[in-house]
């Protein structure tokens, strides 16, 4: 059994995941937790190399199936090199995206079979799953506008268009509905402080900290 805690942040473009992850990391460190902040695709040296292939170039550079395989190649290296060792040491691992993003982006968004993604999960994840997943939800129009304003958009995924991002959001909502014990849906249309407060309330209940 893992000694640490594995918390993932999910959501569409512009939802503010990275900002909120950093805020949560600061709070937990102030309480004395050893916190590791990481991301996907990426998070390890090998996975970051694969990330460059995934987020750059034209939208049609990879098919959804090829994207899925690249994602899982990166994810496996990330698990071996970073996530599993840190959990074994008792760290709190905060990850900007994990396996749910593959189900949403390549599955719901790209049309890759859920059964195929499940098979990859079973083969590659060693039963490692986040114990808590915070899904930041925002309308597609507002999310894309925020991301463009902040310069956060990855060119390949921006070029996939609004219909893709609508399917993506539906995918995340379906994941939240299917796994309510693990997933917490957060209204990302609130102020940043409001989102932070909602996240902290859920994390306190999950980790029983800060009381």
Q: Which helix (H) or strand (E) holds 178?
A: helix 162-178
**Domain range for residue 111?**
5-207
Phi, psi of 182 (to 5 degrees): -90, -40
Q: Three-state secondary structure along 73-129? A: HHHHHHHHHHHHHHHHCCCEEEEECCHHHHHHHHHHHCCCCHHHHHHHHHHHCCCCC
Cis amide leading into 41 (omega within 30): yes
- Please report where in the chains the tokens 């999950």 appear, as a residue: 206
- Print pLDDT tens along the chain (211 aa): 458 999 999 999 888 999 999 999 999 999 999 999 999 999 999 999 999 999 888 878 899 999 999 999 999 999 999 999 999 999 999 999 999 999 999 999 999 999 999 999 999 998 899 999 999 999 988 888 887 776 655 666 766 788 999 999 999 999 999 999 999 999 999 999 999 999 999 999 998 754 4
Entry pTM: 0.92
Residue 29 sits in a domain of what CATH number?
A: 3.40.50.300
* Rounded CA separation 30/188 (Å): 24
Non-local CB neighbours of 201 within 8 Å, separated by 6+ positions: none
Q: φ and ψ at 9, to 5 degrees?
A: -115, 130
Residues 189, 138 contacting (CB under 8 angstroms): yes
- Our measurement of the distance from residue 209's CA atom to the centroid of its chain's CA atoms, rounded to an integer in Å, reads 23
Provide the domain count of the chain. 1
């Amino acid at each position: 059994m893992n000694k640490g805690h594995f918390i993932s942040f999910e959501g569409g473009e512009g939802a503010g995941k990275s900002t909120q992850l950093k805020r949560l990391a600061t709070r937990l460190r102030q309480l004395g937790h050893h916190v590791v902040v990481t991301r996907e695709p990426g998070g390890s040296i090998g996975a970051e190399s694969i990330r460059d292939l995934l987020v750059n170039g034209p939208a049609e550079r990879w098919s959804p199936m090829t994207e899925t395989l690249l994602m899982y190649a990166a994810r496996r290296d990330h698990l071996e090199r970073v996530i599993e060792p840190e959990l074994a040491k008792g760290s709190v691992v905060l990850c900007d995206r994990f396996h749910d993003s593959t189900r949403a982006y390549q599955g719901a968004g790209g049309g890759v079979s859920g059964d195929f993604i499940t098979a990859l999960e079973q083969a590659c994840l060693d039963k490692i799953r986040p114990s808590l997943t915070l899904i930041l939800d925002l309308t597609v129009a507002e999310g894309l506008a925020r991301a463009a304003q902040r310069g956060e958009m990855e060119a390949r995924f921006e070029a996939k268009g609004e219909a893709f991002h609508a399917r993506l959001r539906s995918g995340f909502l379906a994941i939240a509905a299917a796994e309510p014990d693990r997933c917490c849906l957060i209204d990302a249309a609130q102020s940043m402080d409001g989102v932070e407060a909602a996240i902290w309330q859920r994390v306190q209940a999950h980790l029983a900290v800060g009381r």
